[in-house]
A = this chain, B = another copy of it.
Amino acid sequence: MVAKLTDTERDAALQDLPGWRLAEDRDAIAKTFKFADFNAAFGFMARIALIAEKADHHPEWFNVYNRVDVVLTTHDAGGLSKQDVAMAMAMDSLASEIS
């Protein structure tokens, strides 16, 4: 069982995650990624899908054309966990490669 981050841990994590924000009505973080086109956006999603499956930690995400809206939370922890922070960092790293 993964532990939920404390408020202090969550605030510290967010400071290291530019562009990520707290979701409005849930203990979750959210970010919108924009790419050149659908090819790049879905390429991002495909690579993240492999990482997510390996970690058994899956995002909630919405895609339309070049845009990917992501929400991360840990259902087992009832909120944000270090797994979400790790996934957010993986997404940022990959997005900067693709963009």
- Which of chain B's residues have a CB closer than 8 A to the CB of A58? 38, 64-65
Taking the nearest CB of chain B, how far is it from the CB of A32, in angstroms? 13
Once the chains bind, are B61 and A63 in contact (CB under 8 Å)? yes
* 0/1 interface trace, chain A 30-66, chain B, CB 8 Å (1 if under): 0000000011001001100100110000111111110
Contact among B46, B53, B62 for A60, CB-based, below 8 A = B62
When all copies of this chain in the complex are counted, the total is 2
Size of interface on A: residues with Cβ below 8 Å to B: 16
The chain B residue with its CB closest to the CB of A38 is B58
Q: What residues of chain A have their CB less than 8 Å away from a CB belonging to chain B? A: 38-39, 42, 45-46, 49, 52-53, 58-65
Q: List 12 A-B contacts (CB under 8 A).
A: A38-B52, A38-B53, A38-B58, A42-B53, A46-B49, A58-B64, A59-B64, A60-B63, A60-B64, A61-B62, A61-B63, A62-B62
